Amino acid sequence: MSTPTQPSKPPSNPTLGFIGLGIMGRPMALRLLQAGYRVQVHSRREIPSDLQQAGAQPCVSAQAVAKTADVVITMLPDTPDVEQVLFGPAGVAEGLRPGTLVIDMSSISPMASQGFAQRLEALGCSCLDAPVSGGEIGAQAGTLTIMVGGRTEVFARALPLFQAMGKAITHVGDHGAGQITKVANQIIVALNIAAVAEALVFASKAGADPSRVRQALMGGFAASRVLEVHGERMLQRRFAPGFRIGLHQKDLNLALQGARSLGMALPQTAGAAQLMQACTAQGWADMDHSALVTALELMAAHSLPSPQA
């Protein structure tokens, strides 16, 4: 079910713990602070100054975060990172109290997410998997799409927190359903990026102005958010990461692993994953996923024209 998007807080303002303050986590934690929540934070890196100025309380470990937080939120790169933070030495599990809510907003393996939920519930805690879409821009604006798996009553408890960070919030189903939805999202986004990149490189090599081609396509059935945002990134050569190729490649690997376990084929996803692998082989894993266009430029022996000064 989709939900209203006006932020609201529960009657008892909970203390939050937020672990993982990277490209996405930092602005998400800041949105929670701006909404009036008390937020304790932990990161492998130095705590960003804007979070400290907004009132974030640094903690020395994930365990320390969990000891006093009513809700612990994780936003980490990959499945092993989540497992380490939750269950490793000085991890969340070592500091949890019964009744604590753990929300993993990372993008990880759906099967692993279900296993983590079982382990957390065995400790007397509630949990949700709630991966997001919308990139750094959406995190900064508080307009993320949030896909949630877990029990209905737990989703209701967490809804005010999600409303501080996102706009389109959907409870998809039980544990792991949020992660399944995120994998599907990443398939669609990757194939759209590949399609936009192929179209622009084709148009340019054929002699048309790719900027004008993109402008024309934005008014037709080919129009999409990817054409609008990432098409412009490709043309302007703005590849500073909003979402890194390496992370999207990880998500496509989750899709392909899931497909193998289900006995099905994802041929287009496999092709997009190979394009991202080609970028990684060139050393571009930390570039924005719109830089996938560079792999196609190599294959075409043709680059999009440099933007005019």
User: pLDDT (tens digit, 9 = 90+) per residue, 174-216?
Assistant: 999 999 999 999 999 999 999 999 999 999 999 999 999 999 9
| Cα–Cα distance measured from residue 102 to residue 75, given in angstroms and rounded to the nearest whole number | 11
Give the Cβ contact number of residue 102 at 10 Å: 27
| Cα–Cα distance measured from residue 182 to residue 155, given in angstroms and rounded to the nearest whole number | 17
**pLDDT > 90 fraction of the chain, expressed in percent and rounded:** 92
Of the listed 9, 67, 167, 182, which one is catalytic? 182
Identify the bridge partners of residue 2 per DSSP, sorted by sequence position. 170
Compute the mean pLDDT over every residue in the chain, rounded to the nearest whole number.
94
| Cα–Cα distance measured from residue 58 to residue 52, given in angstroms and rounded to the nearest whole number | 8
| Cα–Cα distance measured from residue 94 to residue 223, given in angstroms and rounded to the nearest whole number | 49
CA angle in degrees (0–180, nearest 5) for 63-64-69: 100
* Residue 12: per-residue pLDDT: 61
* Residue 288: per-residue pLDDT: 96
Identify the bridge partners of residue 58 per DSSP, sorted by sequence position. 41
Q: Is 182 annotated in the active site? A: yes
Condensed to tens digits (0 to 9), the pLDDT of residues 85-122 reads 999 999 999 999 999 999 999 999 999 999 999 999 99
pTM of the model: 0.89
Residue numbers of the chain with a pLDDT score lower than 70: 1-12, 309
Delineate the domains of the chain, giving CATH numbers in brackets.
15-175 (3.40.50.720), 181-300 (1.10.1040.10)
